[in-house]
Amino acid sequence: MAKGLLIVNLGSPVSPQTKDVRRYLREFLSDQNVITMPKILWQPILRGFVLPFRSWRSATFYQHEWTQAGSPLIAYTQVTRDRLRQALPDWDVQMAMTYGGQYPIAASLQAMAARGDRPIVVIPLFPAYTQSTTKTILEKVAASGVKTLNVEHFYEQSAYQKLLAQQLDDAYIQGDYDAVIMSYHGIPTAMVRHGDPYQQACEATTAGVKRYLTKVPPAIVETCYQSKFGPVPWLKPYLRNRLVALAALGKRRVLVTTPSFVTDCLETLEENDVQNYQTFRANGGKVFKTVRPMNGSPAFCAFLATLAKEKVAAEVMRHDQAK
């Protein structure tokens, strides 16, 4: 009997073709943890307006980023899984995706349980908990019927914050930057008003990383949010608006890191490296550099392996104390 570890990422279309992107977006945007509008109102909008226009446009973006290994998000999650298998040779390490039909969560857990894995640790690859990502994962884990130990967030872990700080320091010394932006995936402000802890977690991440910086002046580090979708207010400042403002203020050399993304994806490769780069340059910016996500780095995988082992150890201690 082996211990089990399931890492879970968002997911990806099975191909960059419009029909597959449309199928993926329909599943993703039908999740009421993502779009909280009542289905009776949202589904006609989704099917009648959003999918017909967004699917082909998103497909062109996926085609730009697609590699021989497939979707970068899937490929880098596979790298993470494989390195975790090396770090945890006595564990059964698997990966799953929330959407897209590849590596389904419930089926992955049920197969692990059938092999006798016990305990099974689940780590969503989202450092901070939020309704629109982690909550759906935990719901699907619960629906599998398999008993698990869940790591709901790890943004507060000093080891993770040190990894982010080291990435920033290494990138910063390669250029002379006027501003360093920690850009997190945004969520609607309504979610925060209803108790979602995500904004607090993002701000705590930035504050924590600043404590471990040795090359980057903490005073030039700021927090922004990206990937806004729809007309409702999302967390601010919006990255794109801030880039325009920085250029206008004469801060024309910018370094951007994305702590809420642990693998490259549409938001890092297309939204930042192409669209936000173009926006910054068009408004007078000179240098726009991005720090790559963890992408299965050995140090990050070692951190995840330690996190899994600590989760099991804590459960053993809790069980012993309950006796």
Q: How far apart are CA 309 and CA 75, in angstroms?
A: 25
Q: How far apart are CA 56 and CA 67, in angstroms?
A: 19
Calculate what percentage of the chain has a pLDDT beyond 90.
96
Q: Cβ distance 76 to 264 under 8 Å?
A: yes
Domains in the chain with CATH codes? 1-152+295-320 (3.40.50.1400), 157-288 (3.40.50.1400)
Strand order across the beta sheet in which 3-11 lies = 91-99, 3-11, 120-124, 149-150
- Tens-place pLDDT, residues 129-147: 999 999 999 999 999 999 9
Is 185 flagged in the annotation as binding? yes
DSSP code for 185: E
Task: Count Cβ atoms below 10 Å from residue 237 Cβ, excluding itself.
Answer: 16
Q: Which pLDDT band holds residue 157 (cuts at 50, 70, 90)?
A: very high
Displacement of CA 77 from its chain's centroid (Å): 11
CA angle 26, 224, 270 (to 5 degrees): 45
Mean pLDDT to the nearest integer, 259-273 = 97
pLDDT at 45: 95
User: Is pLDDT at 27 greater than 90 in this prediction?
Assistant: yes
pLDDT at 1: 77
Q: Can you read off the two tokens belonging to residue 266? A: 């549409």
Q: How far apart are CA 270 and CA 224, in angstroms?
A: 17
The H-or-E segment that residue 49 falls in is: none
User: Is pLDDT at 198 greater than 80 in this prediction?
Assistant: yes
pLDDT at 317: 80
- Tens-place pLDDT, residues 100-121: 999 999 999 999 999 999 999 9
What is the SS3 assignment for 277?
Answer: helix
> Mean pLDDT score of the chain, rounded to an integer?
97
Global pTM value: 0.96
Q: Which pLDDT band holds residue 17 (cuts at 50, 70, 90)?
A: very high
Residue type, 21: V
Handedness of CA 314, 316, 317, 321 (dihedral sign): positive
Is 152 flagged in the annotation as binding? no
The H-or-E segment that residue 276 falls in is: none
Q: How far apart are CA 129 and CA 135, in angstroms?
A: 7
Q: Cβ distance 232 to 188 under 8 Å?
A: yes
Q: Cβ distance 277 to 183 under 8 Å?
A: no
Q: How far apart are CA 211 and CA 204, in angstroms?
A: 11
Mean pLDDT to the nearest integer, 250-277 = 97
How are beta strands 91-99 and 149-150 bridged, if at all? unpaired
How are beta strands 253-257 and 221-226 bridged, if at all? unpaired
What is the SS3 assignment for 239?
Answer: helix
